[in-house]
């Protein structure tokens, strides 16, 4: 894991397009991580009561669908604001091919 701290001064030095993308990607990453943690917590038990099983299953399905939607929106963000932009065309060749 890379420990990366971005100061206010560093953000202000970025181009507006670059700064906006950076903040949106951070926000999106936080959404995905929170939903993933919630799914881990909710699926970490197997209730004995059949009614509790159904309720737990329904809650799990809601969170899975929400995570799928957020992931799709995140991919749309990457496609539109990074891959499809002049900014992305500059930085994509600099990325590690494995990444």
DSSP letter (8 states) at residue 58: H
Axis-axis angle for helices 16-42, 50-77 (nearest 10): 170
Examine residue 11 and state whether it is found in any structural domain, yes or no: no
Which residues constitute the domain of residue 56?
18-41+51-94
Domain membership of residue 9 (yes or no) is no
CA distance 38 to 67: 10
Is 69 inside a domain boundary? yes
Q: Please give the structure tokens belonging to residue 35.
A: 């939903």
Residue 6 lies in a domain: no
Is 23 part of any domain? Answer: yes
Tens of pLDDT along 14-52?
888 889 998 999 999 999 999 999 999 988 888 899 999
pLDDT for res 11: 87
Q: Domain count of the chain?
A: 1
| Structural domain contains residue 74 | yes
pLDDT in tens, 48-68: 999 999 999 999 999 999 999
Q: Give the side-chain half-sphere CA count within 13 A for 40.
A: 6
Note whether residue 64 is domain-resident: yes
Q: Stretch 88-97: mean pLDDT, rounded?
A: 86
């Amino acid at each position: 894991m890379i420990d990366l701290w971005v100061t206010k001064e560093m953000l202000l030095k970025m181009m507006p397009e670059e700064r906006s993308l950076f903040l949106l990607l951070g926000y999106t990453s936080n959404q995905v991580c929170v939903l993933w943690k919630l799914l881990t917590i909710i699926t970490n038990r197997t209730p004995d009561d059949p009614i509790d099983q159904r309720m737990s299953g329904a809650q799990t399905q809601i969170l899975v669908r929400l995570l799928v939607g957020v992931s799709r929106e995140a991919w749309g963000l990457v496609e539109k604001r990074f891959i499809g932009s002049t900014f992305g065309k500059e930085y994509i060749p600099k990325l590690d091919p494995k990444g």
